[in-house]
Amino acid sequence: MQSKTIDHEALKHYKPIDCKHFIDGVFVDSDSDRVIQNMNPATEEVIGSIAIGGESEVDRAVKAAKRALTGPWKDLSAFERSGMLRRIGDEILKRKEELAFIEATDTGKPYSLALEMDITRAAHNFYFFADYLTSMGTESYQQDQKALHYAIRRPVGVVGMINPWNLPLLLLTWKLAPCLAAGSTAVMKPSEWTPMTATLLAEICKEAGVPNGVVNLVHGFGADSAGEAITKHPEVDAVTFTGDTKTGTAIMKAAAPSLKKVSFELGGKNPNIIFADSDLDEVIDTTLKSSFLNQGQVCLAGSRIYVESTVYDTFLEKFVARTEELNVGNPFDPDADMGSLVSREHYEHVLGYIHLAKEEGGTIVTGGAELPSSVEKGCYVKPTIITGLSQTARCVQEEIFGPVVTVIPFETEDEVIEYANDTKYGLGTTIWTNDLRRAHRVAHQIEAGIIWVNTWYLRDLRTPFGGMKGSGVGREGGAHSFDFYSELSNVTIKL
């Protein structure tokens, strides 16, 4: 991998921040004054404190968001809201080095990755919905000469946003930007493992002129804490969540009594299908990313690699060699392709699956837990490739969410389609082939919400994004996001 230049002298200006709640335009402590320590997973050092909220803080935030729906926010035109979203994007880019520093410190991911992917995409999310807001319309139908039917769109109301730790700013802006574009208001809860960029985002929204109460932030845990309080609050009209399938099930149960709208992007155990007629060098370049980007902590990671048997040995040899060239190290090392996992708890979770793979009869071809020579401690796992496992092995069926992939050979097209669909998940799939008919034929049989052919992670923000089966409920992107963050009413005029 090509090393990148990092201006360490410039980064000295930035420091980790203590994280308070943001309610009705003001940063506040918890009502109970409860705080926990925030840890840097790359060094396992305390870098600050996090205020921990619950029912009382969430109630205050929801009431502020409810009031804001009828305040100055309601009177803004679509073009005025669009301009506000664009100002938020501008401010994110003005502060991109600071935000990337904070993100890398909080998550353990390489600073260069945070700068190039997370922060840039966060700003683009606001730019995209700023433009989309002013260009979309609604339906209208004329029923002969008897009636005219047309739809009007209004904000859904107060939206609870429960965010994951792997792409904290990117995924939070993917929710907040369309929420504000639709004229709704937000109560955000970031992961307690990665709270800092959400806190800065609240500050950025205020600086961009977002009215008080429109954007609120409550830190805390999930069950019996801020997360559960958001999902149960009777004045929260919709809940959007990105995270694991088990938590999504609990949120749906908590939201059911008040019939809240829900949108879930959940877990994945995504197949990466490689046919013999594909360009293996191109395949391996992309498969390195789909396997190990962000330390494999990506819901769309292609963690189940299926290779046609005639090229299996060649692929494995090349893939292992390229994987062993990846540098694992401190997030602020310009030569680091991968940083640390997000926490000691998650490190133990991933390591447990590597041990399990051996018990299940697998072979660890390369990788495992090993501290890079450049660091003294931290939650580091080398990119890991496992072979020799059956389709029914837990390491093949269960989401590991780390830099761990399994490689399994297949003989026929029908066999690999059966393998690919043999999972409780249905988020993403990559198909590698130069046979156009096969590409269409296989894609139409794959049970996944997102299917790539000869690429991975290539996104157009207008397209539907989401999963089926245990990977989610609903779709995001373009009109699909607006449908969630707003309500449609049909008006019929008799002619």
Active site residue 139: no
CA–CA gap between residue 217 and residue 179 (Å, rounded)? 14
- Pairing assessment for the beta strands 450-453 and 26-28 based on DSSP bridges: unpaired
SS (H, E, C) 399-454: CCCCCEEEEEEECCHHHHHHHHHCCCCCCEEEEECCCHHHHHHHHCCCCCCEEEEC
In DSSP terms, 405 is beta-bridged to 385
Catalytic residue (choose from 103, 228, 265, 399): 265
Distance separating alpha carbons of residues 374 and 336, to the nearest angstrom:
10
Cβ burial of 408 (10 Å; 0-12, 13-18, 19+) is buried
265 is catalytic: yes
| Beta strands per DSSP E along 99-237 | 140-143, 147-155, 158-162, 185-189, 215-217
Residues 6+ apart with CB under 8 A from 163: 171, 172, 175, 188, 189, 190, 191, 198, 242
Taking CA 151 as the corner, what is the angle to CA 147 and CA 154, rounded to the nearest 5 degrees? 150
Q: Which residue out of 205, 299, 379, 395 is catalytically annotated?
A: 299
Residue 219: helix, strand or coil by DSSP?
coil
Provide the Cα torsion 253, 254, 260, 266; round to 10°: -60
- Alpha carbons 486 and 351: distance in angstroms, whole number: 43
- Sheet containing 404-410: which strands, arranged edge to edge? 363-368, 382-387, 404-410, 304-308, 271-274, 428-432, 450-453
Active site residues: 265, 299
